Amino acid sequence: MASYHMNELRTGTKILIDGDPCTIVDIDFVKPGKGQAFTRVKYRSLLTGRVNEITYKQSDAVEAADVTETEMQYLYNDGTSWHFMVPGSYEQHEAREAVVGDAADWIKEQDLCTVTLFNGIPISVTPPNFVVLEIAETDPGVRGDTSSGGTKPAKMETGAVVKVPLFIQSGEQIKIDTRTGEYVSRAKE
């Protein structure tokens, strides 16, 4: 198993802690007075998202986590699993709903996503930063109101609900920022 020495650790290094893959979010070298040196590592579990801290001696080593991020196309959902494919190699991966998580709100078949693999198995799915979705349902807008600041909820084709300006109608395509879940603009054809 590959491992890292303290001096090799960086923010973003993927390590194994109690068997879970984690990413380092902060690292600091501490050395009290005349005492021995320690490395304090703050890490986020890639499985739970929780952030914790652990301290190592300088002579310690920490196991590397086999974590890769791969661009994959979302193919279809068979009711229990979501299926993804690596474009060049046609290699396919299945992900359960818990792994897809909030990405399910934003992705449509054929969309390219970033899939994080741990030991070759998907552990999380990140949608593109911007997606274009069709509005399945929203209250009719007020006639002639094209620019005033009000918003209304709109249900997208994926089921997600997004606040949109009052002038947007059912059936329109809109651009959404998936990081905030906010409306950006009408999609230009």
Partner 1 sequence: MSADWRPAASLERLRLRAGLLAAVRAFFAARGVLEVETPVLAAATIPEVHLASLATRWRGPGAPEQGAVLYLQTSPEVHMKRLLAAGSGPIFQLARAFRDGESGRRHNPEFTLLEWYRPGFDHHALMDEVEALLAATLGAGILRAPAERLTYAELFSRHAGLDPHRAAAAELDAALAAAGVAAPALDPEDRDGRLELLLTHLIEPRLPAGRITFVYDFPASQAALARLRPGAGGEPPVAERFEVYVGPVELANGFHELADAAEQRRRFEADLAARRRLGLPTPPLDERFLAALAAGLPPCAGVALGFDRLVMLAAGAGALAEVIAFPIDRA
Distance CA 106, CA 158 (A): 7
Site string for partner 1, 60-99 (x = CB under 8 A): x---------------------------------------
Residue whose pair of structure tokens reads 């890292």 in the numeric block: 4
Residue whose pair of structure tokens reads 């739970």 in the numeric block: 48
Minimum Å distance from CB 23 to partner 1?
A: 17
Minimum Å distance from CB 33 to partner 1?
A: 5
Pick the piece of the chain touching partner 1 (CB under 8 A) from 51-59, 93-101, 130-138, 169-177: 51-59
Output b/e per residue, 152-173; b: 16+ Cβ within 10 A: eebebeeebebebbbbbeeeee
Distance CA 57, CA 42 (A): 15
Nearer to partner 1, 54 or 184 (CB): 54
Pick the piece of the chain touching partner 1 (CB under 8 A) from 25-33, 76-84, 90-98, 176-184: 25-33
Nearer to partner 1, 26 or 97 (CB): 26
Q: Which of 25, 46, 47, 54 binds partner 1 (CB under 8 A)?
A: 54
Alpha carbon separation from 121 to 68, 93, 98, 153 (Å, rounded)? 10, 8, 13, 36
7 lies in the binding site for partner 1 (CB under 8 A): yes
Q: Which of 5, 29, 139, 161 binds partner 1 (CB under 8 A)?
A: 29
User: Which residues in 127-177 belong to E strands, given as ranges?
Assistant: 130-138, 151-156, 161-165, 173-177
Q: Where on the chain is the footprint of partner 1 (CB under 8 A)?
A: 7, 28-38, 40, 52-58, 60
